[in-house]
Structure 1
Amino acid sequence: MFTVSRRSVPAAMVAGLLSIALAACGGGTTKDSASSAAPAAPASSAPAKADPNAPIKEGLKIAFLPKQINNPYETIVDKAGIEAAAEFKAEAKEVGPSDASASSQVSYINTLTQQGHDAILIAANDANAVCGPLQQARAKGTKIVSYDSDASKECRDLFINQANSEEIGRSQVKLLSELIGGKGEVAILSATANATNQNTWIEFMKDELGKPEYKDMKLVKVAYGDDDDQKSFQETQGLLQAYPDLKGIISPTTVGISAAARYISGSKYKGEVVLTGLGTPNQMRQFVKDKTVEKFALWNPKDLGYLASYAAAALASGQITGAEGEVLKAGKLGERTIGKDGEIILGPPFTFDASNIDQFDF
């Protein structure tokens, strides 16, 4: 369902997209990929030295904790991570809240810790709100991998970043500037006000807009749709009504960009206000084809989940500790070197438009 189709994609594009490839969930809901192997022994909380030649333990218990359980983007990420876990014979599931509030993930972290999971993978709604519970989990030997939206670095072992944060933020401004001719009022439609990834990207967007080449572009508002489809739809309407001279909107969230596109496509603003941001091809295809959206960007969310899953397994098996310079063996994605502060970057974003969007299916 989420496979990237190669169809007529040029070889260079396929290689580039799949190596990078180209910015979340109801209570008690789970998606399992269980193994019949015996459960692994709980990980030790004592400091350990990496053994890159250690095999991945069979029967590891890992759990994905997205921003919210019904976010389409994070469903793709987590499903791919669960499928990856089957490759190394682990038990994997997805659990999470139905809203993306700051503290909504805390009870899930506590439950997963009590259940003795070897690793928790979290897209943090609030970097600080989840820190205490994650520290308690680590004290009991659970490895913590953040993905998509980072937790505070002292509260996790690794962060799997979909792309360089600075590159995401600056590239979004450059793309919008290209589309509106470098002139006019612009707005940002974000997810939640406390989302680590969104706030980091927005800071780089603001910094980019401060450069001389963008002197004719003015940021008038940062609005928050809370990664809720209806609220994002309403916030789009509010922006367009409040700022009649608005020329462009950046929505660096898959929920926000699709909701904004849905509103604009049926309004008088279609063809007048430019929308870009981060979305999946399947979400945005109809809006590209009806010319509501010309260009948008993303990485491959399947690869993000896959990479995060292998990172969790490598940590729990002692292959890596999360130290800078260590090398993660990530299955079909190859080797990735751990950078500063325990960060691994998937790769740069990819731009989708009418010329290539039918070549992808995720």
Structure 2
Amino acid sequence: MSSRKPQLVAALAVAALALTACGGGTTKSDTAAGNTPETVSAGTKADPNAPLKEGLKIAYLPKQLNNPYTDVEVGGGKVAVEEIKGEYKLVGPNDASASSQVSYINTLIQQQQDVIVVAANDPNAVCPSLNQARKAGIKVVTFDSDAAKTCRDAFINQASTQGIGESLVKMASELAGGAGEIAILSATPNATNQNSWIKVMQTELAKPENSKLKLVKIAYGNDDDQKSFTEAQGLLQSYPNLKVIVSPTTVGIAAASRYVSASSYKGKVAITGLGLPNQMRQYVKDGTVKKFALWNPADIGYLAAYAGAAMSSGQITGAEGEKFKAGKLGEYTIGADGEIVLGPPTEFTAANIDQFDF
């Protein structure tokens, strides 16, 4: 670690300036201060036969702590870090605001972590600090919600953005009978993953085959249970003809389902989106929810650890086409822009939900 110290001191000085200038807000673009396209691995070559290093310090920084979905994700990461005989660390804010992760990144730089695995609350706000981490020799892997491509080395995506957006519209259409009003209950307005999926949904809804479906509102529950509950209530009161609420966030779908299950809307308004089987089981069993989808979030955290370790060990650099092994998940190939896709989402119904425990 000592070889990084001169870089580290300089990096921290710049990080402090970036934090003061940023003030916690969202930067204007990917070329904002500290967010340049340079990569630490530039000029280096991958050695797929390099041994996986032991003792790597791998830190996880999710959107927020004490979130059921996040708990499963980072739990998978902890398992992987233990498998590779590394040092696991978990830090993070209790809220999912854009600036809340910056101070944690700066602390992780000071602690000389080898890998930072982060789910960005805002694609640009975290970039100055992430690039300082990279200049200090720390590998940055985003998971679940990406940062700007210029300030991370790889991105672990749950499934393809296109596939998720298409799946959400497909389920909404089936539940609405192909026609009627639908609404979206998202997380935060700046959530990269949510906005990417919603953009695909809007494109799908503009197609002739979905012309009878009308998106009336995109509401934001900020991945907070009570606010999501209140937003779901507001949607149903504001749009009496609403047929489906689509929530591409596990917090939102659970909150909306809880509200509908105990209201006069049960059986009249469908709830779907992305949810955890264990959290949604009761609503599937009581008929509130007919179908929803997700991947195994533990595998996302697990895959992120192996990607970071492979990168820190020199097996990969993050370039398109490189391959690495991720323990029990097998071999993965890095796609364009450093994206690594876990796999397609699974659709859950009353017929199969008891086969899953997460």
Q: TM-score, with normalisation over the residues of structure 1?
A: 0.88
Deviations 1:17-65 (A, max 9, x none): xxxxxxxxxxxxxxxxxxxxxx897599564211111111111001010
3-state DSSP of counterpart to 1:53: coil
Name the counterpart of 2:74: 78
Q: 1:193 to 1:58 in 2, by over 3 A?
A: same
Name the counterpart of 1:103: 99
Deviations 1:143-170 (A, max 9, x none): 0000000000000000000000011011
- Count of residues in correspondence between the two structures: 324
| Contact 1:40–1:58, Cα closer than 8 Å, also in 2 | no
| Contact 1:40–1:59, Cα closer than 8 Å, also in 2 | no
Q: TM-score, with normalisation over the residues of structure 2?
A: 0.89
1:254 aligns with 2:250: yes
1:314 aligns with 2:330: no
Deviations 1:279-319 (A, max 9, x none): 01000000000000000000011111111110010011111
Name the counterpart of 1:265: 261
Name the counterpart of 2:28: none
Give the alignment partner of residue 223 of structure 1, picking from 219, 228, 246: 219
The amino acid of 1:225's aligned partner reads G
Which whole-Å CA distance do the structure 2 matches of 1:206 and 1:259 have between them? 23
1:147-162 equivalent positions in 2, closer than 5 A:
147-162=143-158
1:330 aligns with 2:354: no
Name the counterpart of 1:64: 60
Name the counterpart of 1:176: 172
| Contact 1:298–1:350, Cα closer than 8 Å, also in 2 | yes
| Contact 1:84–1:309, Cα closer than 8 Å, also in 2 | yes
| Contact 1:187–1:219, Cα closer than 8 Å, also in 2 | yes
Q: 1:213 to 1:176 in 2, by over 3 A?
A: same
Which whole-Å CA distance do the structure 1 matches of 2:41 and 2:351 have between them? 53
Structure 2 unmatched ranges of 5 or more: 8-39
The amino acid of 1:95's aligned partner reads V
Q: 1:295 to 1:46 in 2, by over 3 A?
A: closer
- Structure 1 segments, 4+ long, off by >4 Å, are 39-46
| Contact 2:41–2:317, Cα closer than 8 Å, also in 1 | no
| Higher RCO (CA-CA < 8 Å; seq separation 6+) | 1
Question: What percentage of residue pairs aligned between the two structures are identical?
Answer: 68
3-state DSSP of counterpart to 1:185: strand
Name the counterpart of 1:136: 132
Structure 1 unmatched ranges of 5 or more: 1-38
Cα deviation, residue 209, structure 1: 0.3
The amino acid of 2:251's aligned partner reads V
| Contact 1:258–1:284, Cα closer than 8 Å, also in 2 | yes
Which whole-Å CA distance do the structure 1 matches of 2:211 and 2:55 have between them? 57
Give the alignment partner of residue 208 of structure 1, picking from 189, 204, 210: 204
Q: 1:357 to 1:151 in 2, by over 3 A?
A: same
3-state DSSP of counterpart to 2:308: helix
